[in-house]
Structure 1
């Protein structure tokens, strides 16, 4: 069940930064910010799905002016409570269509969408709209960066459609795939020490690298780089994720 904050309610926001995934490790955050700061140069950065500021805050500390778009006020409130969070502008809304007024400060040199957040848009139409929205905010020569996993369909046994990705004494998580619609609905189950449980379901739409390239082309962008991750290792057939950079042509 969702509220005005979508699937990222106050309860989720309060625990979001406690996650143990690699994306929350200091080294990974530094690698992410290194690359984004390089691409931003002397310009501004627009984060689609800014959340609690995991990337935006350290990027801003590097001297890059950052503006964010996010539909979850609870996540943004969490960012605001952190040092420097009050200085980052945020537009509340769906990042597939919410626009930022660039009249005063000009367009952005960088737009970015990290940690599989493109998959929060659960239709191809919305994902295409997101690329167009990012492109419209970019200055000529500016870049749009997306970090997203490669669909894990090779993990699905024949005749099944469920892939578990987290197991433990009190916590389970798994994805249910629909290979026709590209739906990948994630289910999270947690049991507290007192025996009370909590279950959450979040819908996603998985997307292939080649499909993203076509979305970029429709938005007037062209592929510049694709790596296995923020370390810029080559992207191969065995890569589980990719960081892709599309550029808005100068002319």
Structure 2
């Protein structure tokens, strides 16, 4: 059983509206450009495909895209969209579920690997990505760098969004590497709602070790989809690992 939160029907119904900033062309287009260049003619597989924010525009470029998604209500929203029925989606856990075939690209965006709240599951997610890759294929994740330097002694919370309609605060447990993202939203009817998502944060170096355990080697790390250099001040990273061409028999 996965430790991930499972998006229920009401949450899935609000997901696109609550995440509208992530659908903006300035945010989405660079991600799709980056992934399309790596996928080539494909095929590509998205772990935690959700409502198809990335999968659908990538498929619209002619790349065969499949997905794995834990939440059936999220998949139902994807199915309602233009092009959605043509994207095969397996409802299951991205750490263990096996989609048919081999892929030139497996990708996992917008911090979604952190939905797996144990280190063991995160290691298995890397291994599952490697199992799906054709020799020479790439595994890509987009992930935030925990802003722990912004935590004064004794403080456990960091705001990440402050606005009239949305206040977001992350709380951290430095012992377990767990965090909770709290979202307070003002709805159009004036009501206030609170929701929370639970995560396990991962450092870039820890990701590299997980990749090595899966038989993958680091190919590239940048700060964002625009390929800004990754530095000690970067608040996020886009990392690409490659399955060596001679590694066919090493996938576990």
TM-score of the superposed pair, with normalisation by structure 1: 0.92
2:122 matches 1:117: no
How far apart in 2 are the matches of 1:134 and 1:62? 23
How far apart in 2 are the matches of 1:29 and 1:6? 24
Q: Could you list the runs of 5+ residues in structure 2 that have no partner in the other structure?
A: 247-252
Change (3 A) 1:159 1:21: farther
In the comparison of the two structures, how many residue pairs are matched? Answer: 243
Residue 238 of structure 1 corresponds to which residue in structure 2? 233
Residue 165 of structure 1 corresponds to which residue in structure 2? 160
Residue 67 of structure 1 corresponds to which residue in structure 2? 66
2:135 matches 1:140: yes
Matches within 5 A, 1:10-159: 10-19=9-18, 22-102=21-101, 107-159=102-154
SS in structure 1 of the partner of residue 244 of structure 2 = coil
Q: CA deviation at 1:29?
A: 1.3
Q: CA deviation at 1:184?
A: 0.7
Higher mean C-alpha deviation, range 24-33 or range 138-147: 24-33
Matches within 5 A, 1:185-196: 185-192=180-187, 196=191
Higher mean C-alpha deviation, range 237-246 or range 160-169: 160-169
Tell me if the contact between 2:5 and 2:115 (Cα under 8 Å) persists in the aligned partners: no
Change (3 A) 1:109 1:164: same
Higher mean C-alpha deviation, range 91-100 or range 194-203: 194-203
Q: CA deviation at 1:167?
A: 3.1
Change (3 A) 1:193 1:36: closer
Q: CA deviation at 1:200?
A: 1.6
Q: CA deviation at 1:101?
A: 2.0
Residue 218 of structure 2 corresponds to which residue in structure 1? 223
Higher mean C-alpha deviation, range 161-170 or range 76-85: 161-170
Tell me if the contact between 1:6 and 1:72 (Cα under 8 Å) persists in the aligned partners: no
Q: Could you list the runs of 5+ residues in structure 1 that have no partner in the other structure?
A: none
Higher mean C-alpha deviation, range 24-33 or range 43-52: 24-33
Q: CA deviation at 1:191?
A: 4.5
Higher mean C-alpha deviation, range 206-215 or range 168-177: 168-177
How far apart in 2 are the matches of 1:165 and 1:232? 22
How far apart in 2 are the matches of 1:78 and 1:21? 15
How far apart in 1 are the matches of 2:226 and 2:55? 19
Change (3 A) 1:193 1:59: closer
How far apart in 2 are the matches of 1:36 and 1:193? 35
Higher mean C-alpha deviation, range 158-167 or range 148-157: 158-167
TM-score of the superposed pair, with normalisation by structure 2: 0.91
